[in-house]
Chain A
Amino acid sequence: MTCPPETPLWVTIGVPIATFVAGFITSRFTLSRKEKKDLEQDNYENSLKLEELQEKVYSAYTDAIKVYVGKEDVTLDDFVLIATTGDKYFSQTSTLCSAILSDKVDASVRDNKLLAKVRDVAQRTLPKHYETLKSIAEKKGWPYQGELRRQDHEAIYAVVERFGAAPGWTGSESGPS
């Protein structure tokens, strides 16, 4: 390689090395077109799987309430089934929220379907669940210590805070303390 006599040696050697190093580092931290497509596909499939699981816990929860509503003489077991299937419904919603927070779901599915669901759970279903169970337990004289605590559903409230509450929400966005 011939260089003009005024070019310093460190430029002649340093520039190609720096270019190589910069290119290497950039490729480590950015995704190729194919890698990006694969990630999008993974996120989409993950969203579908999470939706399917959500559907299952929702059915179990509503079935438990339907059994309670439809029974003549309800027992403590019927009541406990509502409490436990409700816990599983909220726990699955938290899993869904953790996936949203770590960007493991498809952005369009998240914006068009999942966020509405999560906002509803935070703003309507969670308070209603605990309030109803407490009221039933008091009426029937059953022992029930369930209480809505933010730390039990942290991921759900974190999603509402990050993506915003639904219009018209007048309660505290950060949920119960």
Chain B
Amino acid sequence: MADIGLNLKIKYGLSRDATAVETRNWYQLVESYRRSGYSLEESGELAARSILPGYRTRVYASEADTIEMLLDQAKNK
């Protein structure tokens, strides 16, 4: 689950990893947006904006940004 939380952090530029509960809630919201006719990408964005922490407050744009952030997490473990 930690891996999904981390992936969500990178994809949606979150301020921290999404927790297991936040990830589950996000997934359920994505499903409900999907049922209302939104595409998968749109549903993911909308759900992330409403419940994930610090949506689009960080940019993990380049390979170096992502690697740096991951190495920091590994170091502080």
List the interface of chain A (C-beta within 8 A of B).
58, 61-62, 65-70, 74, 82, 116-117, 120-121, 124-125, 128-129, 132, 135-136
Question: B interface, how many residues as a size bin?
Answer: 10 to 19
Partner of A120, one of B6, B63, B77: B63
Report the minimum CB–CB distance from B70 to chain A (whole Å).
4
Interface residues of B (CB under 8 A from A): 1-3, 6-7, 62-64, 66-68, 70-75, 77
Set B1, B72, B74: member contacting A68, Cβ < 8 A:
B74
A66 to B6, CA, bound (A): 8
A62 touching B73 in the complex, CB below 8 Å, given contacts A67-B3, A69-B2: no
Tell me what chain B mostly uses at the interface: helix, strand, loop, or mixed: helix
Please state if B63 and A128 are interface contacts (CB–CB under 8 Å).
no
Please name all residues of chain B whose beta carbon is closer than 8 Å to the beta carbon of A65 when the two chains form the complex.
67, 70-71, 73-74
Chain A hits for B7, CB < 8 A: 66
Do A69 and B64 touch (CB < 8 A)? no
Choose one: A58, A61, A69, A121; the contact of B6 (CB below 8 Å).
Answer: A69
Q: In the complex, A129→B74 CA distance in Å?
A: 11
Q: Find the A residue at minimum CB distance from B71.
A: A132
